[in-house]
A and B are shown apart, each in its own frame.
Chain A
Amino acid sequence: MNLTLKIWRQKNAGAKGNFATYRMEDVSPKMSFLEMLDALNKKLVEEDKDPVAFDHDCREGICGSCGMYINGHPHGPVPAVTTCLLSMRYFSDGDTICVEPWRAKPFPVIKDLIVDRSAFDKIQIAGGYISVNAGAAPEANSIPAQKKNSDTAFDSSICIGCGACVAACKNASAMLFVSAKISQFALLPQGRIEAKDRVRAMVEMMDELGFGNCSNTGACEAECPKEIKLTNIARLNREYYKAY
């Protein structure tokens, strides 16, 4: 199929960016979105032009690197997939595809489609851990945990920190990310020990970094490639109020 790509180009963090238009011909529907961008970059390099910079790593939907905003959706219009797993078969011949970086003050653009997501790292460093002695892995069943809770904690822990929730939210709020990181610990006995300090520190860091506030619109849940639930945000609220 033949496509028209409108891609955000920005030389560096300080430069003023704009959209560049590229024609892609004979795109195979079997390609992934990133493979299609690889083909575009090959073409640009052959033409002695600057290739489009975009983040990618595992290309199997678990590293959270490949965030880009495609036709009005983080990771594109298909639910529950990351950009790397977005197949070109979801597009049609003659389509124009608009590709932009995440837009949020705490996620400044570094180049083209790459944004600095170290804000998420800072939130994690602030409290997204449990304090245990390093060494051999402890016996898994020595601290009993309810099956229901451990399952829910696991569902929260699969958040890959890609930033799609921030990108989708009209307020650029990071609440879904923070709530997933809080929930994965709050539901397990090991996480309860530092629960109060954790939630206070992570929320404080989230606010300090300039993320917006949660309006409960549900856009984050709708766009999350790992289908993290809004119920995590209610749990984050509860954990926060309990911490004071």
Chain B
Amino acid sequence: MNKILFSSLSKKFVMALAGLFLLLFLPLHLVINLMLLKSDPVPFNRAAHFMATFPVIKIIEIVLLFTILVHITWGIFLQIQNWLARPIGYAGGNKSETSFFSRFMIWTGASVLTFLVLHFFNFYFIKLGFVPGNPEDFYSVAHRLFKIPAYNYIYLICFALLGLHLFHAFSSAFQTLGLNHRKWTPVVNVVAWIYAIAIPAGFAFISLTLWLFR
């Protein structure tokens, strides 16, 4: 049983599934965040309240946290295995033609993790009661944060790096799951590019609008 669960292919399978699940969550988060652009705080706070209290969402939240944890843990574990597989590097460098962003997945992933920790402290831990704040008014919390230039710099950099992570992650997940098709794989690749640009751009748009124009 251990051989199945911990084989290289199984670990990649779990990584890919977890990654795709996280990809489903991001557009939902973006839609809710777009409500921050309204001058009325009620719609955003109502949506945040719904996300925090609706029983089905609470279950999905647990699955989501578990998925994040699995994706990060397996990602680090696989990377360590990869480093160990080549203890001595090439003096002449590696000039092979590769998918560019695939080379930096661990680093772009690490930057997303850094942002996630910051994000948890700013919002999620307030909801859980670990950090003082009003969980019923995340609208004000978000608006306050987006007025801090340093927060916006970190936010924009992290979302740019998330975009680079997604460029490779989206189509790579399909390949790992064995979902390769002569006709559909090019379509998946195009959708991956659109997704990797549109989602981070959406979050960046909110940050820039609230920072510079409100």
| Residues in chain A within 8 A of chain B (CB atoms) | 6, 8, 19, 69-74, 77, 98, 100, 103-106, 168, 170-173, 200, 203-204, 206-207, 210-219, 222-223, 230-231, 233-241, 244
Contacts and interface: CB of A to CB of B under 8 A. Distances in A.
B92 interface: yes
Interface string B72-111: 0000001001101111111111111111001101000000
Nearest to B102: A217
B62 interface: no
Contacts of B4: 244
A240 B177 CA distance: 10
B114 interface: no
Contacts of B91: 6, 8, 19, 98, 100
Interface stretch (B37-45, B123-131, B168-176): B168-176
Given A8-B91, A72-B95, A170-B82, 18 more contacts: A71-B92, A72-B90, A72-B92, A77-B95, A98-B92, A105-B84, A171-B81, A171-B85, A210-B85, A212-B84, A212-B86, A213-B78, A216-B99, A216-B168, A236-B178, A237-B176, A237-B177, A238-B178
B175 A105 contact: no
A168 B82 contact: no
Given A103-B86, A105-B85, A215 B180 contact: no
Contact of A231 (B96, B103, B177, B180): B180
Interface of B: 3-4, 7-9, 11-13, 78, 81-82, 84-99, 102-103, 105, 168, 171-172, 175-180
Nearest to B174: A234
Q: Which of B4, B95, B98 has the most chain A CB atoms inside 10 A of its CB? A: B98
A222 B96 contact: yes
A70 B171 CA distance: 31
Contact of A72 (B93, B103, B168, B171): B93
Contacts of B175: 216, 230, 233-234, 237
Contacts of A74: 96
B8 A105 contact: no
